[in-house]
Amino acid sequence: MTSPTSTAPSGPIETRQGACNLCEAICGLTFQVQNNRILSVKGNDADPLSRGHICPKAVALKDLHEDPNRLKQPMRRVGDRWETIGWDQAFDLVVEGLAKVREQHGTNAVAVYQGNPSIHNWGNVTHGHLFFSQLKTRSRFSATSVDQLPHHLAALWLYGHQFKLPIPDIDRTQYMVALGANPLASNGSLMTAPDVRARFKALRERGGKLVVLDPRVTETAAIADEHHRIVPGSDAAWLLSIIHTLLDEKLAQPRQWEPLLQGVDALREAVRPYSAEATAAFTGIDAATTRRLAREFAQASSGVVYGRMGVSTQEHGTLCQWAIQVINLLTGNVDREGGALLTTPALNLIQMGLMGKGHYDVWRTRVRQAPEFSGELPVSVMAEEMLTPGKGQIRALVTSCGNPVLSTPNGAQLDRALSQLDFVVSIDFYLNETSRHADVILPPTCFVEHDHYDLVFLHLAIRNVARYNGPIVEPEAGALHDWQIYSELARRYARRAWALEKSRAWARVKGLAGRSIMARLSPQRLLAIGLKRSKAPVTMGQLLANPQGIDLGPLKPSLVADLSRKKKTVQVLPAPIQRELHRLVPTFSTTTDAEQLKLIGRRDVRSNNSWMHNSARLVSGKNRCVLWMHPQDANQRGLRDGQTVAVQSRVGQIVVPLHVTEHIRSGVVSLPHGWGHDRPGIQLDVAQAHAGASINDLTDDRAIDALSGNAAFSAVPVEVKAA
């Protein structure tokens, strides 16, 4: 199948400015387009934030657009076959399928899983809730609980709002400590910082320092001033030792936070067992180094500790993210130039009350009693909620922008669970490892076919910027954007649900009516209204006239003033953290089993979670789905570089090639996620030819951060043998 536009006669070549939505860097792009075909993709030098930077994935937006495997019409499953159907029929099938399960088994029997692009594609943000909220289900899941959930929980407890996430001011800081983050490969996360390499270079050129703690010699570690190969899963103990040193050596100087911090004495007491000397054997970082780093950090003119996936997705993820904030608070670096600050984006959804402050543990999951967070349940429990009979058992699933079979722990179990559900619908343009379980697939347009304003990541950027871009190419006739799919699902489901809920109050009708008006407005209309109503510093007209983006300046302090105005204080030792600390003590006091290999992840600049592996240019060259192992560990097991090995964990086994390298801590092995495209029934020709194996057939659904329920991907105990 070729793109219908590819045979059109040649026309004028036009230049259009756009953005890349594949990762959080949201780089500005310049496209050359002819006859609705993308000729080239380049970095946009005029973009005030990305300044011309791109990575190899940007060009793959063109591959995605032209991918013959990309679905363009709804599909329904008929036995083992797929049949393309019209939108009208597809919507009816979906609404009827979901309503039927709800009628028979109750609202919580219908589950929702929203994957990562849900926040990268703004139509999902503006319109997704119109449909999902009508399902009224508590079985809500998303990629948040395999990612940044601990950040939200720490922000809720410390600053009173799940989205008050201070962003590292990397353009002005003098001292950055990065744990469990590899921005040179990931291009930054909870830190929209395109061209992070140049920014780190500038940091060092102005006399600043970059310290990296990572079990592996990552691309970021390789350019750092110092790199420490910390034992995976031990970061919470190390961070507590930093807090201990700050308080023990009287290095803390909270500056502007002094009047706001509560519970510092209790904190001093609570961290007493965690001296640098006490944790050294557990973390693999000697006490002198830890104490020196604490002193250097406290004495730097500005500094920021930053921790991402590696410390968020581990057994003590919430402790890690809380401790990072506390270190930044105790050194006065939160809400301070060169430290970590909140953004003030043009369209400030937090200020507008459109991003709720969040809640925690108001209800719990049925089987494991795991706490909800802001209405979501940890995805690690999704399979058990499908497989365990009883009232409230999940019988239907809506997936959108997600591929949980490859991206959530114990994916093989979830794979089995999905195959026995009564009804599955996937809103996705690929027939992949997850959507192959669907009864109906609703494929939206792809990114270059619709407009974009980054509602989410402009809240997480290292500078205040605003940028709106129109579509780069026209979608095919009859194609629907995500927002239109949600809008129509919301409309039809409301009608169907009305029959289910006749007895309920009038208010509900009014609510539905309001929603249906909103549902008809495009994201662009909503943006224009939002900018106007919130008296934003830019107008829609200015955005349209400046597709390269508008710079609104560096981040400015606001949090202290805001909390003071509201007469709020910051409790540095929230009660659940205090309880969790008691749980950690026995863990770090016992020496770890040196024979036991611990598995961690790895991101590669040419890969994007589970779904860009169908771009030939991205998967070409060397196989990236290989297991890294230190020579000492390989020798001990009689294994050599290039050989195929079997990796075994509590939940499963996979077979992958071995790469023996000094660039990893001994006792640790590393494998990327998002691979494993050898499952039957998928339609991804290129990815299938570069299948790899899924690390999440090894990661354990029982291994979670107890506080948040976030998946603990780091430090999975595994055995490795010759295959």
- Chain contacts with ligand SF4 (rule: CB under 6 A): 20, 22-23, 25-27, 54-55, 57-58, 187, 194
Partner whose binding site includes residue 20, from Mo ion, ligand SF4, ligand MGD, none (CB under 5 to 8 Å by kind): ligand SF4
Interaxial angle between packed helices 235-248 and 276-283, expressed in degrees from 0 to 180 and rounded to the nearest 10: 160
CB of 428 to ligand MGD, least distance (A): 5
CB of 519 to ligand MGD, least distance (A): 17
Among candidate residues 167, 157, 127, 163, the one with its CA nearest the CA of residue 144: 163
**Between residues 449 and 719, which has the closer beta carbon with respect to ligand SF4?**
449
3-state helix, strand, coil in the chain (%, to 5): 35, 20, 45
CB of 37 to ligand SF4, least distance (A): 20
The Cα–Cα gap between 506 and 460 comes to 39
Contact 640, 658 (CB under 8 A): yes
* Torsion of the alpha carbons at 23, 29, 35 and 36, rounded to the nearest 10: 30
Q: Which stretch binds ligand MGD (CB under 6 A): 95-103, 305-313, 452-460, 631-639?
A: 305-313
CB of 25 to ligand SF4, least distance (A): 4
Question: How would DSSP label each residue in 620-662?
Answer: -SS----EEE-HHHHHHTT--TT-EEEEE-SS-EEEEEEEE-S
Q: Is the dihedral of CA 673, 675, 680, 683 positive or negative?
A: positive
Interaxial angle between packed helices 317-330 and 575-589, expressed in degrees from 0 to 180 and rounded to the nearest 10: 110
The Cα–Cα gap between 230 and 307 comes to 13
CB of 694 to ligand MGD, least distance (A): 8
Contact 123, 525 (CB under 8 A): no
**Between residues 372 and 482, which has the closer beta carbon with respect to ligand MGD?**
482
- Binding mask 146-185 toward Mo ion (x if CB under 5 A, else -) reads -x--------------------------------------
CB of 285 to Mo ion, least distance (A): 27
Nearest to ligand MGD by Cβ — which residue?
310
Structure tokens at 699: 């990661």
- Binding mask 128-147 toward Mo ion (x if CB under 5 A, else -) reads -------------------x
Contact 185, 604 (CB under 8 A): yes
CB of 191 to ligand SF4, least distance (A): 12
Contact 445, 481 (CB under 8 A): yes
Contact 665, 628 (CB under 8 A): no
Q: Which stretch binds ligand MGD (CB under 6 A): 196-204, 306-314, 331-339, 455-463?
A: 306-314
Kindly list the distances between the CA atom of residue 80 and the CA atoms of 69, 134, 198, 672, in Å, as whole numbers in the listed order.
Answer: 18, 31, 51, 31
CB of 401 to ligand MGD, least distance (A): 4
- Binding mask 90-129 toward Mo ion (x if CB under 5 A, else -) reads ----------------------------------------
The Cα–Cα gap between 163 and 660 comes to 41
Amino acid at 469: N
Angle at 256 between CA 158 and CA 235, to 5 degrees: 45
CB of 222 to Mo ion, least distance (A): 23
Three-class secondary structure of residue 349 per DSSP: coil
- Binding mask 209-238 toward ligand MGD (x if CB under 6 A, else -) reads ----xxxx-x-----------x-xx-x---
Contact 18, 469 (CB under 8 A): yes
The Cα–Cα gap between 709 and 313 comes to 10
Among candidate residues 345, 409, 335, the one with its CA nearest the CA of residue 549: 345
Partner whose binding site includes residue 74, from ligand SF4, ligand MGD, Mo ion, none (CB under 5 to 8 Å by kind): none
Partner whose binding site includes residue 27, from ligand SF4, ligand MGD, Mo ion, none (CB under 5 to 8 Å by kind): ligand SF4
Partner whose binding site includes residue 378, from Mo ion, ligand MGD, ligand SF4, none (CB under 5 to 8 Å by kind): none
CB of 616 to ligand SF4, least distance (A): 17
Q: Pick one of 137, 699, 708, 710: the residue that binds ligand MGD (CB under 6 A).
A: 699
CB of 24 to Mo ion, least distance (A): 8
**Between residues 37 and 197, which has the closer beta carbon with respect to ligand SF4?**
197
**Between residues 195 and 315, which has the closer beta carbon with respect to ligand SF4?**
195
Partner whose binding site includes residue 180, from ligand SF4, ligand MGD, Mo ion, none (CB under 5 to 8 Å by kind): ligand MGD
The Cα–Cα gap between 229 and 216 comes to 6
Q: Residue written as tokens 């849900």?
A: 118
Nearest to Mo ion by Cβ — which residue?
147
Q: Report DSSP state, residue 211.
A: E
Binding flag, residue 607, ligand MGD (CB under 6 A): yes
Among candidate residues 181, 153, 528, the one with its CA nearest the CA of residue 325: 153
CB of 372 to ligand MGD, least distance (A): 19
**Between residues 161 and 673, which has the closer beta carbon with respect to ligand SF4?**
673
Binding flag, residue 318, ligand MGD (CB under 6 A): no
Structure tokens at 369: 């009693």
Q: Report DSSP state, residue 521.
A: S
Partner whose binding site includes residue 615, from Mo ion, ligand MGD, ligand SF4, none (CB under 5 to 8 Å by kind): none
Sites for ligand MGD among residues 69-108 (CB under 6 A): none
The Cα–Cα gap between 194 and 460 comes to 12
Among candidate residues 398, 348, 674, 391, the one with its CA nearest the CA of residue 533: 348
Q: Which stretch binds ligand MGD (CB under 6 A): 7-15, 182-190, 380-388, 586-594?
A: 182-190
Binding flag, residue 674, ligand MGD (CB under 6 A): yes
Q: Count interface residues toward ligand MGD (CB under 6 A).
A: 63
Structure tokens at 57: 């994935």
Q: Pick one of 97, 303, 371, 444: the residue that binds ligand MGD (CB under 6 A).
A: 444
Binding flag, residue 181, ligand MGD (CB under 6 A): yes
**Between residues 667 and 674, which has the closer beta carbon with respect to ligand MGD?**
674
Among candidate residues 422, 402, 165, 405, the one with its CA nearest the CA of residue 304: 165
Q: Residue written as tokens 């497989």?
A: 387
Contact 433, 406 (CB under 8 A): yes
Side-chain-facing half-sphere of 17: CA atoms under 13 Å = 19
Site residues (vs ligand MGD, CB under 6 A): 23-24, 115-117, 121, 143, 146-147, 179-183, 185-187, 189, 213-216, 218, 230, 232-233, 235, 308-311, 314, 400-404, 407, 427-430, 432, 444, 482, 600-601, 603-605, 607-611, 673-674, 695-696, 699, 713-715
Site residues (vs Mo ion, CB under 5 A): 147
